[in-house]
């Protein structure tokens, strides 16, 4: 992970989002303080992977995506954290946790993880989705759309911001190497 996140093209992609975020944050709060999140390749990878797994878990265990939530733990500045938690916090039939917890067994999780990555290789909005960089001004995303990564905003701790499918699978021109390009 540390080697991968030092790639100059990945750093540039994350920097594109981070600069827009810092600018908007400063305008919104009228101060010079930095926003609470530093958008790095690590953050984009962990957050994007969380969304891919939420979408796949929804298909595998029958929970609606709106009944699952995420918690992102990604910080390369101070602690080298790189993880996420997917949980359910509803009290209705989707909130029993049994089906979701069972998916964490090694055999089941490997299959779910592999399917989630494979599903990112193609988006019904490609090639526009994977090559789009204009969305960063509107939604702080690069390669991410409703067809491939976005989940209900109540499920995402960042309201569907800071996502980039290329962090996982790379870009078609191979300028950006995805972290998990070997799973195709």
5-18: pLDDT as tens digits: 999 999 999 999 99
Give the whole-angstrom CA distance, residue 53 versus residue 184.
16
Q: pTM for the complete prediction?
A: 0.90
42-99 per-position pLDDT tens digit: 999 999 999 999 999 988 887 888 889 999 998 866 778 899 999 886 665 554 555 7
φ/ψ of 116, rounded to 5, equals -60, -40
Give the whole-angstrom CA distance, residue 50 versus residue 86.
7
């Amino acid at each position: 992970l540390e080697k991968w996140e030092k790639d100059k093209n990945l750093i540039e992609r994350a920097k594109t989002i981070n600069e827009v975020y810092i600018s908007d944050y400063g305008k919104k709060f009228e101060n010079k303080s930095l926003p609470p999140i530093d958008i790095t390749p690590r953050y984009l990878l962990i957050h994007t992977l969380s969304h891919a797994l939420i979408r796949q878990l929804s298909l595998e265990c029958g929970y609606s995506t709106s009944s699952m939530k995420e918690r992102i733990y990604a910080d390369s500045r101070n602690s080298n954290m790189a993880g996420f938690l997917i949980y359910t916090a509803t009290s209705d039939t989707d909130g029993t946790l049994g089906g979701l917890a069972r998916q964490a067994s090694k055999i089941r999780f490997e299959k779910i993880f592999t399917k989630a990555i494979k599903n990112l290789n193609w988006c019904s909005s490609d090639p526009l989705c994977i090559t789009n960089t204009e969305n960063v001004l509107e939604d702080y995303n690069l390669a991410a759309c409703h067809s491939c990564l976005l989940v209900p905003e109540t499920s995402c701790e960042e309201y569907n911001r800071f996502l980039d499918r290329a962090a996982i699978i790379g870009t078609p021109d191979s300028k950006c190497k995805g972290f998990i390009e070997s799973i195709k």
